[in-house]
Amino acid sequence: MIPASFDYVRADSAEAALAALAEHGDEAKLLAGGHSLVPLLKLRLAVPAVLVDIGRLEDLSYIRDAGDHLAVGALTRHRDLERSAVLAEHLPLLAHTAHLVGDPQVRNRGTIGGSLAHGDPASDLPAVALATRATMVITGPDGERTVAADDFFAGFLETAVQPDELLTEIRFPKATGAAWSYQKFVRRAQDWAIVGVAVQGGATPGVALVNMASTPVRAAAVEAALASGADAATAAEAAPDGAEPQPDLQASVAYREHLARVLTRRALTASALG
């Protein structure tokens, strides 16, 4: 429970963080809220030579109404998402889901950027990014690029963010007045989801699953069923299609698939979809 030794650099700007990454290459690791990285360090599952602390980049902590979309800074804490008036009005799914992450300590430290960049299939916010069709803004040595949520989650704990890059902003389409639902199935209130389902209503409803594959996944078969006019119960039957759930202590594959169907039906019904 003691990390291997590392050098520590505190970045006071995004540029400084990028410079440190450029200098140390893939020896370096960014540290945001630390609530995914620090446990890995303590178990020595991650042994970076340098930690670049971006936790104090206040200028990357914001939730803005940018006209046609909402811009959320990567360093915005879960707690700020939870309490944001802007989100409550235009994207309540994100605020509500952030409220279900871990416990208050976790929410006060963890950031949306860390949550997405970590790429954990068991995390809640990646499913929201998929269901809402968010766009990630990634800053690197050559400036900014944008990546659609669908192209962002590359593999188990792997995303489109390269070792010399920084996730700086997440852009969410506004969903003002649209129905939504997040169904999180947990053993205990503070736990990670055994299975979760995010549904965002609107012109093109989005459905995404938590813990149903090695990455956060879109429930494309459910969306297709809905598009072709299926009712909620029928569409939900397709939830496990294309997913590749893994067994663990909490759930077998069959149980996960069953939960995905039940939770998806509930989420669709709650959002009056299908």
Partner 1 sequence: MSVLGTRVVRKEDPRLLRGEARYVADLDETDDPRLVGLAHVVFVRSTVAHATIAELDVAEALEAPGVIGVYTHADLDLEAPPVMGGMLGPDVVRPFLADGRVRYVGEPVAVVVAESVAEGVDAAELVFVDYDLLEPVIGVEAAVDADTLLFPAHGSNVVSGFGAEAPDDLFDGCDVVVRHRIVNQRLAPAPIEPRGCVAVWGGDDGVELTFWTSTQTAHGVRSTLADRFGLEHDAVRVIAPDVGGGFGGKMHLYPDELITAWVARRVGRPARWIETRSESMLGIHHGRDQVHELAIGGTRDGRVLAYHLEVLQDAGAYPDIGAFLPYFTRLMAQGTYDIARVSCRTRSVVTTTTPTAAYRGAGRPEAAAAIERAMDLFAAAVDLDPVKVRRRNLIPADAFPYTTQTGATYDCGNYPRALALAVEAAGYDDLRDEQARRRAAGDPVAMGIGVACYVEITAGPGAGEKEFARLTIDPDGSATVFTGSSAHGQGHATAWSMIVHDLTGIPMDRVEVVHGDTAKVEAGVGTYGSRSLQVGGSALHRATSHLVARGVEVAAKLLDVDEAEVALDTETGTFSAESVSGEAVGWDEVVRLSGEPFTEAHEFVTETPTYPFGAHIAVVEVDTETGQARLVRLVAVDDAGRILNPLIVEGQRHGGIAQGVAQALVEEVRYDADGNPQTANLADYGLISTMELPAAELVPMETPTPVNPLGAKGIGESGTIGATPAVQNAVVDAVAHLGVRHLDLPCTAERVWHALELARAEAG
Ligand X SMILES: Cc1cc2nc3c(=O)[nH]c(=O)nc-3n(C[C@H](O)[C@H](O)[C@H](O)COP(=O)(O)OP(=O)(O)OC[C@H]3O[C@@H](n4cnc5c(N)ncnc54)[C@H](O)[C@@H]3O)c2cc1C
> Which positions touch ligand X (CB under 6 A)?
29-37, 39, 74, 101-102, 106, 109-111, 113-115, 117-118, 123-125, 161, 166-167, 192
β-pair partners for 65: 70
- Count of beta carbons in the 10 Å neighbourhood of residue 90: 21
**Contacted entry of ligand X, partner 1, none for residue 17, CB cut-off 5 to 8 Å set by kind:** none
- Give the DSSP letter string of 94-114: HHHHHHTSS-HHHHHH-BHHH
Binding residues among 229-258 for partner 1 as defined by CB under 8 A: 249-252, 255, 258
Minimum distance between the CB of residue 19 and ligand X, rounded to whole angstroms? 15
Q: Does 4 bind partner 1 (CB under 8 A)?
A: yes
Residues 6+ apart with CB under 8 A from 18: 139, 140, 141, 164, 165, 166
| Residue located via tokens 């700007």 | 13
Closest to partner 1 by CB, 37 vs 194, is 194
**C-alpha radius of gyration, the chain, whole number:** 18
Minimum distance between the CB of residue 249 and partner 1, rounded to whole angstroms? 6
Minimum distance between the CB of residue 217 and ligand X, rounded to whole angstroms? 15
Q: Is the separation of the CB atoms in 11 and 57 below 8 Å? A: yes
β-pair partners for 175: none
**Contacted entry of ligand X, partner 1, none for residue 258, CB cut-off 5 to 8 Å set by kind:** partner 1
**Contacted entry of ligand X, partner 1, none for residue 187, CB cut-off 5 to 8 Å set by kind:** partner 1
Binding residues among 111-170 for partner 1 as defined by CB under 8 A: none
Closest to ligand X by CB, 118 vs 174, is 118
Binding residues among 33-62 for partner 1 as defined by CB under 8 A: 43
What is the spatial distance between Cα 40 and Cα 114, in angstroms, rounded to a whole number? 14
- Nearest alpha carbon to residue 48 among 37, 57, 56, 32: 37
Residue numbers at the binding site for partner 1 (CB under 8 A): 1-2, 4-5, 43, 185, 187-192, 194, 249-252, 255, 258-259, 262
